[in-house]
Amino acid sequence: MLDVGETAPEFALPKAGGEAYNDIEPFALTEALGDGPVVLAFFPAAFTSGCTAEMCTFRDSMHRFDELDAGVYGISVDLPPAQNVWIMREELNFPMLSDWDHEVIREYGVVDPEMYDLFEAAERSIFVLDDAGTVTYRWVEDEGETDFAAVIEDVREAVAETARP
């Protein structure tokens, strides 16, 4: 798994913007770097209770990330049209990236080990990257119930540290 201090692998994925089911455009990580910290929030699947709770907590905290010029992106193996429907249903205010071929979750080392031999999905994890693409913070979900408000606060603090010159 990618660790703090390592350079994040570059990737290009379809980006679901959430304005309509077909609101899809290309996204390259290299284009997002240099505009402030980047938050990559990997999650197993849209429309599930835990993922909805996590992404809605990000939604409700987005003003705090916007103040730090941070780009926040959800990443799952869901197809972009499904991500768009989910964005609209939950009124999410940040885009989703579709790792439909599962390459990025493998490169970042976040394939959920509980899903092996059944279905390959992302392990719930969050990476904060600086302008150069270096990982400055990493969180991976532990066993048990997750306090998403506390996790998002920790991520916001990591973003604030990363944003400081």
Confidence (pTM): 0.93
How do beta strands 71-76 and 96-98 pair?
A: parallel
Within 10 angstroms of residue 65's Cβ, the number of other Cβ atoms is 22
Give the catalytic positions in this structure.
51
% of the chain surpassing 90 pLDDT: 82
pLDDT value at position 164? 74
**Domains, the chain, ordered by start:** 12-163 (3.40.30.10)
Residue 46 exposure: Cα atoms within 13 Å on the Cβ side:
26
Q: What is the pLDDT of residues 80-126, one digit of tens each?
A: 999 999 999 999 999 999 999 999 999 999 998 776 566 788 999 99
The residue-averaged pLDDT of 15-21 equals 95
Q: What is the pLDDT of residues 99-111, one digit of tens each?
A: 999 999 999 999 9
Do residues 78 and 45 make contact, with C-beta atoms less than 8 angstroms apart? yes
pLDDT bucket at 67, cuts 50 / 70 / 90 = very high
Averaged pLDDT score across all residues of the chain:
93
The residue-averaged pLDDT of 12-28 equals 96
Cα–Cα dist 74/101, whole Å? 16
Strands of the sheet with 12-16, listed across from one edge:
24-28, 12-16, 96-98, 71-76, 38-42, 125-129, 135-140
